[in-house]
């Protein structure tokens, strides 16, 4: 029963994607949109496949991925540790909370010019921007998860003689894990978006740069290729994170 309904759902869910592609093809083949502006989907996917095996395109993807992972890793480490610290200690909470309130709604992209001036045009400024953007969702959901840990669990651990800092690792962190992973998921999507934008604004490599170069030369086909590439990249990374999630949360009631 379960697998059958699942596969039915998959087919049902694929329908709108197929519809969009069919509509796209229809717009082109019935001449509503000139091929120069809207290349047919077959051409775009063909170009994507051809590009994927070339060394230069792989290097662009690698450049994007390095920045994405570096930024994401920094955001996870900082976000989780600050979030747990703020939930555990009222003193840290009093300092962190107002700063987060001010910094979280601030559009980080606006900081990019400042980062460019301070850190240069290389990896540094882009990784910092990615990390800054992904940090807050991870921090907030960690804080939320850690501050809603059931007090009884902590009391039991203390009664069993666990030391204070051990409680953080043995009780609070695992209990907050589902919430942390939700934050990581949001952060990961943000990383994909921000790294692409940063590369579009100023860069010499990466997928965003490919898009901008194509736009400057009006190569519509090449403009679609990096967009589809980043969408696929996001899906793959999301799937990987889902796998990590179901591994880490094995044994949780509803993982």
Partner 1 sequence: MTSPSALARRAAPMFACIGLLAVWQVASLALKNDSFPTAIEAIRAIPDILGDKESLINILASLRRMAIGFGIAVLVSIPLGLLMGRSRAVAAFFNPLLMVIYPVPKAALMPIIMLWLGVGDITKTLVIFLGVSLPVIYHSFEGAKAVEEKMLWSGAAMGLSPLQRLVRIVLPAALPEILTGCRTGLVLALITMITSEMIARQSGAGNILFNALDMGQYDTVYAMIIIVGAMGICLDAVFERVRARLVRWSEPQFDMPLSFS
Specify whether the CB–CB gap between 131 and 75 falls below 8 A. Answer: yes
**Residues near 215 by beta carbon (within 8 Å), at least 6 away in sequence:** 223
Please tell me what DSSP assigns to residue 170: I
Indicate which single residue of 24, 25, 38, 162 sits in contact with partner 1 (rule: CB under 8 A): 38
Q: For Cα atoms 240, 246, 247, give the angle at the middle one, nearest 5 degrees.
A: 90
Indicate which single residue of 65, 186, 221, 249 sits in contact with partner 1 (rule: CB under 8 A): 186
C-beta closer to partner 1: residue 77 or 104: 104
CA separation, residue 100 to residues 96, 103, 106, 136, 189 (Å): 6, 5, 10, 8, 20
Should residue 48 be labelled a site residue for partner 1 when binding is judged by CB under 8 A?
A: no
Site string for partner 1, 75-94 (x = CB under 8 A): -------------------x
Specify whether the CB–CB gap between 222 and 47 falls below 8 A. Answer: yes
Indicate which single residue of 7, 15, 26, 35 sits in contact with partner 1 (rule: CB under 8 A): 15
Stretch that binds partner 1, among 55-63, 73-81, 159-167, 213-221 (CB under 8 A): 213-221
Please tell me what DSSP assigns to residue 121: S
Should residue 33 be labelled a site residue for partner 1 when binding is judged by CB under 8 A?
A: yes
- Tokens of residue 250, six digits: 């094995």
Indicate which single residue of 189, 221, 241, 248 sits in contact with partner 1 (rule: CB under 8 A): 189
**Residues near 132 by beta carbon (within 8 Å), at least 6 away in sequence:** 75, 108, 111
Specify whether the CB–CB gap between 141 and 186 falls below 8 A. Answer: yes
C-beta closer to partner 1: residue 57 or 196: 196
Indicate which single residue of 1, 4, 31, 37 sits in contact with partner 1 (rule: CB under 8 A): 37
Render the burial of 131-163: b for 16+ CB within 10 Å, e for the rest: bbbbbbbbbbbbbbbbbebeeeebeebeeeebe
Should residue 249 be labelled a site residue for partner 1 when binding is judged by CB under 8 A?
A: no
Sign for the pseudo-dihedral over CA of 72, 75, 148, 106 = negative
Site string for partner 1, 118-157 (x = CB under 8 A): x--------------x--xx--xx-xx-------------
Should residue 41 be labelled a site residue for partner 1 when binding is judged by CB under 8 A?
A: no
Should residue 221 be labelled a site residue for partner 1 when binding is judged by CB under 8 A?
A: no
- Give me the residues that bind partner 1 (CB under 8 A), please: 9-10, 12-17, 20, 33, 37-38, 94, 97-111, 113-114, 116-118, 133, 136-137, 140-141, 143-144, 186, 189-190, 192-194, 196-197, 200-201, 208, 211-212, 214-215, 218, 220, 223-224, 227, 230-231, 233-235, 237-238
């Amino acid at each position: 029963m379960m697998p059958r309904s699942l596969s039915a759902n998959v087919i049902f869910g694929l329908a709108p994607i197929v519809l969009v592609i069919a509509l796209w093809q229809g717009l082109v083949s019935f001449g509503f949109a000139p091929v120069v502006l809207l290349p047919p989907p077959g051409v775009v996917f063909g170009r994507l496949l051809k590009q994927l095996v070339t060394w230069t395109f792989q290097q662009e993807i690698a450049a994007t991925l390095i920045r994405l992972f570096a930024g994401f890793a920094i955001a996870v480490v900082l976000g989780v540790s600050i979030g747990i610290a703020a939930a555990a200690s009222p003193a840290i909470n009093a300092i962190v909370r107002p700063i987060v309130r001010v910094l979280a709604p601030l559009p980080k992209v606006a900081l990019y010019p400042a980062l460019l001036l301070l850190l240069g045009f290389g990896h540094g400024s882009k990784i910092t921007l990615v990390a800054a953007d992904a940090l807050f969702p991870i921090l907030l959901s960690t804080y939320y998860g850690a501050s809603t840990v059931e007090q009884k669990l902590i009391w039991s651990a203390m009664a069993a003689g666990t030391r204070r800092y051990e409680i953080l690792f043995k009780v609070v962190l695992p209990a907050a894990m589902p919430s942390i992973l939700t934050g990581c998921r949001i952060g990961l999507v943000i990383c994909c978006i921000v790294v692409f934008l940063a590369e579009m604004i100023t860069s010499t490599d990466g997928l965003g740069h490919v898009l901008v170069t194509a736009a400057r030369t009006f190569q519509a086909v090449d403009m679609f290729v990096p967009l589809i590439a980043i969408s696929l990249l996001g899906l793959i990374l999301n799937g990987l994170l889902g796998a990590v999630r179901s591994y880490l949360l094995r044994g949780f009631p509803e993982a």
